[in-house]
Amino acid sequence: MNKGTAIVGFFLCFLAGIGLMYGVDRSHGVNVEPEGIAAKGGLDHSAAPVPVTGKDPFWGRPDAPVTVVEVSDFECPFCSRVEPTMDQIRKNYGPEKVRIVWKHNPLPFHKEARPAAEAAATVFTLGGNDAFWKFHDTVFQNQRTLSEDNFEKWAVASGVDGAKFKAAYSAKKDAAKVDEDLAMAKSIGVTGTPAFRINGITLVGAQPYEKFKEIIDQELVEANKLIASGTAKTQVYVERAKKNVSSTPPPKEEQAQKPAEDTAIWKVPVLDDDPIQGPKDALVTIVEFSDFQCPFCKRVEDTIKQVHDKYGNDVRFVWKDLPLPFHPRAIPASTLARVAYKQKGNKAFWDAHHALFDSQPKLEDSDLEAVAQKLGLTWNTVKSAIDDKKFQSKMDANSDLANDLNARGTPHFFVNGFRLSGAQPFEKFQEVIDAQLSKAKSIAARGIAKDKVYDEIMKEGKEPPPPEKKSVAAPTKDNPVKGPASAKVTIQIFSDFQCPFCKRVEPTLKQVADEYKDKVKFVWRNMPLPFHQDAPLASEAAMEVYAQKGAAGFWKYHDQLFDAQGTDNGIKRENLEKLAQELGCDMTKFKEALDSHKHKAQIDADVAVATQASINGTPAFAINGYFISGAQPYSAFKGAIQRALKD
């Protein structure tokens, strides 16, 4: 289970500059075209030193006085970190003053960045700006699950025809646009991401909002001078960019903000029921967390064969099932392999393993039945194991271990405890294996039996840090509660009705409630974030429903508000009243409560509790003091709850 907050920026709405927030509408008329300009392409500013053309996705008016060119990478954590700042710019300046233009710069060490860039370019070609920004948001919200299958799914969700997307993406029809952006970035001195040119002025990295504001405000003044002197609004960007670039010394080379390599040796247990390929006394143990539906796990199989061929009995592989939640056929496939292992032993598992990857992506029941028949397994036995979730506890245990080790994607390897993430080429495996093999030989030379070398290495292995704890003030009678008063575990939810990540975690909380029943109770804490303009009034409305209808009414209204999030009326006052009326509230009292902000003091008190506990974003959870930040998976909650129950 993730115990720290290092990756929180990927999963929750943070205050400006800390994490991901998508509180500003990217579409619905913001790409307003001056007369005579093509609706999709906007202005041709190819004459500017930082060129912008109709092939670039943009937000705002094409003739806005300030243009922010964002050179970015969909897999870069620093690029995701700056997105809340970009949304703050949209909100505070609006489309009349600022235009934001996207340029692709997938960095070479981000293996999924280039495919994501090509997918986004395809979405733009097929669906225009609105579709691009929807896709852009989804990619950053799911930055750790980038895959071709998801690109297609997200493209469709963005409003693009799935068949057309698949055909164009497979044919790499928009790869040339990514190449053009890469060449442009190189020509203006960009080598890292994120990088910005604001009317030609350089700003490097995930800078805070204030840095952008300083430059934008300065450029608005200069742009207005140009317009007052007779320069056409459509030419302001070109003129300002030329002047700024010519008057600014060449910037120092921008260094790619590549995360530091993890050089730790992690304590990764090998259990009796883990499938193993290779001798017990192999000097190098490679533990693989993998998923039979993951295309990258399949892709790395050829590399693993090369490892076997080169190193022979010096290497053993240990399999850990890690079926990812967005791969619906991964658990059935893993179950089949587990049935083979249980009935026929280690060799049968690896035969099933090879057969399943050979069958991928065809892993429906009929495909699995064919694999079972090939392996001499009875389909009824396999299907029964799938339906009964027979091996779910083992898979959950592997997921918990993966979370502990921060192994959040597949394939993920530990070579004698040394982390190797992703479908790396053989040369990278060779580099790591050679280094670990040399160390293992040194240990064996000290008289340690070869079959005990891995255990010896693990003695000094790094263990996950203890879970973070926060001292959070106890709730009061004014906080809505769901669950029995006698529950051993209290989950305090700090949430915001307009936050998309708060909505996303709701099914996980339902899963927690279904699993733990009377062992847990939930306490609601209002934490409307300042950049979500509809959230404060929604919180006040929910508290008035609580005052009139009690906890049952509150939680029903809570569900309705999250259901309304993102719809046309959303959580605007009109809809707040409509939903309250449907619940049978006294509407005179309800409207008076909203008009007088009757419940604002209680909401402010919840925010003060969060601030005192250094909780800065939503959703956030205090589970008997154990802290979880963001829309974390079920396994993260399970780990914290289990610890709380043990305490």
Q: With 70 as the cut, is the pLDDT of residue 575 above it?
A: yes
Q: How confident is the model at residue 631 (pLDDT cuts 50, 70, 90)?
A: confident
Q: Are residues 589 and 623 in the same domain?
A: yes
Structure tokens at 567: 């719809």
Judge whether 95 lies within some domain.
yes
Q: Are residues 438 and 486 in the same domain?
A: no
Q: What is the pTM (predicted TM-score) of this model?
A: 0.50
Judge whether 236 lies within some domain.
yes
Cα 27 to chain centroid distance, Å, stands at 22
Q: How far apart are CA 634 and CA 499, in angstroms?
A: 19
Secondary element (H or E) of residue 481: strand 481-482
Residue 188: per-residue pLDDT: 84
Residue 108: per-residue pLDDT: 86
Mean pLDDT of all residues in 486-506: 93
Lowest mean pLDDT among 302-316, 420-434, 502-516, 631-645: 631-645
Q: Are residues 52 and 100 in the same domain?
A: yes
Residue 14: per-residue pLDDT: 31
Q: End of a domain among 459, 491, 509?
A: 459
Residue 530: per-residue pLDDT: 83
Residue 42: per-residue pLDDT: 60
Q: Are residues 429 and 299 in the same domain?
A: yes
Higher pLDDT, 33 or 326: 326
Structure tokens at 487: 């529950």
**Residue owning tokens 């990619």:** 139
Residue 63: per-residue pLDDT: 93
Q: How far apart are CA 421 and CA 4, in angstroms?
A: 20
Q: Are residues 394 and 306 in the same domain?
A: yes
Packed helices 330-344 and 365-375: angle between N→C axes, nearest 10 degrees? 20
Mean pLDDT of all residues in 296-304: 93
Number of domains, the chain: 3
Q: How confident is the model at residue 213 (pLDDT cuts 50, 70, 90)?
A: very high
Residue 109: per-residue pLDDT: 85
Q: Are residues 109 and 206 in the same domain?
A: yes
Q: With 70 as the cut, is the pLDDT of residue 353 above it?
A: yes
Q: Over the stretch 46-93, which tens digit does the pLDDT of each residue have?
A: 888 899 998 999 999 999 999 999 999 999 989 998 999 999 999 999
Q: Are residues 337 and 292 in the same domain?
A: yes
Mean pLDDT of all residues in 565-586: 92
DSSP 248: S
Q: Are residues 230 and 131 in the same domain?
A: yes
Mean pLDDT of all residues in 153-175: 93
Q: With 50 as the cut, is the pLDDT of residue 44 above it?
A: yes
Judge whether 24 lies within some domain.
no
Q: How confident is the model at residue 396 (pLDDT cuts 50, 70, 90)?
A: confident
Backbone angles phi, psi at 335, to 5 degrees: -65, -45
Judge whether 472 lies within some domain.
no
Q: Are residues 242 and 281 in the same domain?
A: no
Q: Over the stretch 259-271, which tens digit does the pLDDT of each residue have?
A: 557 889 999 999 9
Residue 257: per-residue pLDDT: 47
| Type of residue found at 355 | A
Residue 23: per-residue pLDDT: 34
Q: Over the stretch 451-485, which tens digit does the pLDDT of each residue have?
A: 999 999 999 999 877 778 899 999 999 999 999 99
| Type of residue found at 631 | A
Q: With 50 as the cut, is the pLDDT of residue 30 above it?
A: no
Judge whether 149 lies within some domain.
yes
Q: Over the stretch 220-243, which tens digit does the pLDDT of each residue have?
A: 999 999 999 999 999 999 999 999
Where in the sequence is the domain holding 517, given as residue range(s)?
A: 481-646
Q: Are residues 390 and 537 in the same domain?
A: no
Judge whether 464 lies within some domain.
no
Are 422 and 299 in contact by the 8 Å Cβ rule? The answer is no
Residue 567: per-residue pLDDT: 82
Q: Are residues 447 and 554 in the same domain?
A: no
Longest dimension (CA), the chain: 86
Backbone angles phi, psi at 385, to 5 degrees: -65, -35
Q: Are residues 504 and 367 in the same domain?
A: no
472 to 551, 577, 609: CA distances (angstroms): 22, 33, 7
Q: Domain holding 123: CATH number?
A: 3.40.30.10
Q: Taking Cα atoms as reference points, which of 98, 288, 272, 106 lies closest to residue 198?
A: 98
Q: With 80 as the cut, is the pLDDT of residue 31 above it?
A: no
Judge whether 22 lies within some domain.
no
Structure tokens at 483: 């669950």
Helix ranges (DSSP H) in 158-205 = 162-170, 175-187
Judge whether 441 lies within some domain.
yes
Backbone angles phi, psi at 466, to 5 degrees: -65, 155
Mean pLDDT, the chain, rounded, equals 88
| Type of residue found at 468 | E
Q: With 90 as the cut, is the pLDDT of residue 314 above it?
A: yes
Residue 260: per-residue pLDDT: 59
Q: Taking Cα atoms as reference points, which of 80, 116, 292 lies closest to residue 194?
A: 80
Q: With 80 as the cut, is the pLDDT of residue 447 above it?
A: yes
Q: With 70 as the cut, is the pLDDT of residue 13 above it?
A: no
